[in-house]
């Protein structure tokens, strides 16, 4: 298993497209509804890569056997009064390797990267009934609100979302 902070998604594009489609098709509440087409997934990752090049986003990947099996993103706020915080977005672990702690490994990486960037506050949102909800609680994220009917699933059902934050100590470590 290899955890990477990448500065260009192009070498991983095929794996990332497959990961996103797998996540969406398995019901992950990450902003898309199934079925997600390959062109839509490629367009999404292209836009993420643009933000990565602009330094407004960071992307962490987990690779196993030279294949991307997990990903998470860190979105930085450009606002002058918000340079101390960032949003954690789109935590994905491929269905073939779930329940192996990769989500926690990715989130530990998020915390290290954010700390190295002098970001002291992490914010995230997750569907309240999603398995990741308990992982965030166990990792010390603090819920600060639940919004009813925040996310719509493919069958039209509305789901509540919980918003979390975590304060972290900044460091001068470089992520390797």
Instruction: Give residue limits of the domains in the chain.
Output: 2-122
Q: Is CATH 3.30.420.10 correct for 2-122?
A: no
Average pLDDT value for residue range 43-66: 97
Q: Is the pLDDT of residue 175 over 60?
A: no
Interval 112-130 mean pLDDT? 96
Helix (H, G, I), strand (E, B) or coil at 82: helix
The residues that bridge with 68 in the sheet, in sequence order, are 63
Q: Render pLDDT for 93-107 as a digit per residue (tens, 0 to 9).
A: 999 999 899 999 999
Contact criterion met (CB below 8 Å) for 71 and 62: yes
Tell me the per-residue pLDDT of 2-41, one tens digit each, with 9 for 90 and over.
999 999 999 999 999 999 999 999 999 999 999 999 999 9
pLDDT digits (tens, 9 = 90+) for 137-174: 999 999 999 999 999 999 999 999 999 999 999 876 65
Q: What is the pTM of this model?
A: 0.95
First to last CA, the chain: 14
**132: closest CA among 101, 111, 169?**
101
Give pLDDT, residue 171. 78
Mean pLDDT computed over 114-132? 96
């Amino acid at each position: 298993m290899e955890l990477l902070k990448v500065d260009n998604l192009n070498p991983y594009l095929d794996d990332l497209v497959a990961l996103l489609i797998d996540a969406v098709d398995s019901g992950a509440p990450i902003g898309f509804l199934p079925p997600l087409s390959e062109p839509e997934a490629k367009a999404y990752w292209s836009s993420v890569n643009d933000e990565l090049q602009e330094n407004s986003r960071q992307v962490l990947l987990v690779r196993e056997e030279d294949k991307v099996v997990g990903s998470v993103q860190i979105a930085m706020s450009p606002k002058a009064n918000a340079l101390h915080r960032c949003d954690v977005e789109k935590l994905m672990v491929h269905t073939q390797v779930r329940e192996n702690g990769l989500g926690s490994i990715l989130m530990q990486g998020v915390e290290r990267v954010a700390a190295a960037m002098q970001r002291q506050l992490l914010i995230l949102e997750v569907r309240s009934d999603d398995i990741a909800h308990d992982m965030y609680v166990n990792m010390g994220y603090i819920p600060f609100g639940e919004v009813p009917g925040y996310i719509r699933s493919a069958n039209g059902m509305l789901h509540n979302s919980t918003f979390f934050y975590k304060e972290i100590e900044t460091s001068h470590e470089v992520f390797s």
